[in-house]
Amino acid sequence: MPSVVGLLEQHELAARRRVDELRKEADRIQAELAVAEQEWQEWAIARRRVDAVLAPDGGSTAGTEVAPDVRDAEVPSAVRDAAKAKSQVPVWREGLSWSVLSVDYQRILRALAGRLRLGQGPLTCQEMAALFGMDVVPARVEALRSKAKRLVARGWLAEQQPGRFALAAGVTGPDGGS
């Protein structure tokens, strides 16, 4: 007969796995949302430019006041400004510079690049917190874990073992991202 503690550990492990799966799914959806919002903004800009060019005055905007577009009024300002409210992490691609990332994300990449240069292995979020001089408390560690998982979802980092992060293949330097 299994022990009560053993059963509790099994349930805890199953719950933790579910949380990890949901975090991965949330990161994937967040990445898709960022791409979709960017595309939507580009199309809205293109439409406004075409409207300006096709305007009866030949597209001259000198001395004219720009009226808000009624079609944009349907969209809550919180959605329009979502990209500004939170740091965006683009999907990594060859030649993408680290400068597109916020300082916090760059710090994680710099720490892992240093480990790679020294021939050391991946880091856990607790080790990162200690390395960054942070208090190693659950709130700080989970904040780092969230950032690291987002970098994994966008292709900047790899997580070969659960909770251990390293630079993804091809991501090696801050100048060109590769």
Spell out the domain ranges in the chain: 1-86, 88-178
Identify the pLDDT of residue 157. 93
Phi, psi dihedral angles at 110 (to 5 degrees)? -65, -40
Q: Which of 57-66, 151-160, 164-173 has the lowest mean pLDDT?
A: 57-66
Confidence class for position 67, pLDDT limits 50, 70, 90: very low
pTM for the whole structure: 0.50
The chain-wide mean pLDDT, for the chain, equals: 80
Average pLDDT score over residue span 53-60:
69
DSSP bridge partners of 164: 161
Across the chain, where does the E strand assignment appear? 157-161, 164-167
pLDDT exceeds 80 at position 47: yes
pLDDT exceeds 90 at position 27: no
DSSP bridge partners of 134: none
pLDDT exceeds 80 at position 77: no
CA dist., res. 147 & res. 141, Å (int): 10
pLDDT exceeds 90 at position 144: yes
Identify the pLDDT of residue 155. 92
pLDDT exceeds 90 at position 152: yes
Cα-atom radius of gyration of the chain, to the nearest Å? 22
What CATH number matches the domain at 88-178, 3.30.930.10, 1.10.10.10, 3.10.20.600, 1.10.1040.10? 1.10.10.10
pLDDT exceeds 50 at position 105: yes
Identify the pLDDT of residue 173. 67
Identify the pLDDT of residue 96. 84
Confidence class for position 60, pLDDT limits 50, 70, 90: low
pLDDT exceeds 60 at position 44: yes
